[in-house]
Amino acid sequence: MTISTASATGATGLPETDELTARIAGGLPGDFVWGAATSSYQIEGATGEDGRGPCIWDTFARTRGKTRDGESGDLAVGHYHRYREDVALMAELGLGAYRFSVAWPRVVPTGSGPVNPAGLAFYDRLVDELLGSGIDPWLTLYHWDLPQPLQDLGGWANRETAYRFAEYADHVATALGDRVKHWSTLNEPWCSAFEGHLTGRHAPGVQSAHAAVRSVHHLLLAHALGVEALRARGVSDIGITLNLIPVESPEDSPAARDAVRLVDGQSIRLWLDPLLRGSYPPDVVADFAKAGAELPIADGDLARIAAPIDWVGVNYYSPHIVVSGPDPDPTPMPFVAADNLTRVKSTEDVTALDWPIRPRSFAALLRRLAADYPGTPWYMHENGAAYLDEPAPDGSVPDPGRLRYVALHLDAVREVIQDGVDMRGYFVWSLLDNYEWAEGYKMRFGVIHVDFDTLVRTPKTSALWYSRLIREHRAANGTL
- Catalytic center residues: 188, 382
Q: By C-alpha distance, which of 362, 472, 473, 470 is closest to 409?
A: 362
DSSP state of 156: G
48: left (phi over 0), alpha (psi -120 to 50) or beta: alpha
Q: By C-alpha distance, which of 164, 74, 63 is closest to 114?
A: 164
Give the whole-angstrom CA distance, residue 349 versus residue 355: 8
Tell me the sheet residues that pair with 137: 98
**Residue spans of beta strands (DSSP E) within 9-104:** 33-37, 97-101
Pairing status of strand 341-343 against strand 320-324: antiparallel
Give the whole-angstrom CA distance, residue 302 versus residue 263: 22
Give the whole-angstrom CA distance, residue 398 versus residue 384: 15
Please, what is the Cα angle at 322 between 320 and 326, to 5 degrees?
A: 135
> ω before 430 within 30° of 0 (cis)?
yes
Give the whole-angstrom CA distance, residue 233 versus residue 51: 26
Distances (CA, A) of 290 to 225, 283, 287, 347, 369: 30, 11, 5, 33, 28
Give the whole-angstrom CA distance, residue 119 versus residue 105: 8
Determine which helix (DSSP H) or strand (DSSP E) holds 380, and give its type and residue range.
strand 378-382
Give the whole-angstrom CA distance, residue 205 versus residue 59: 10
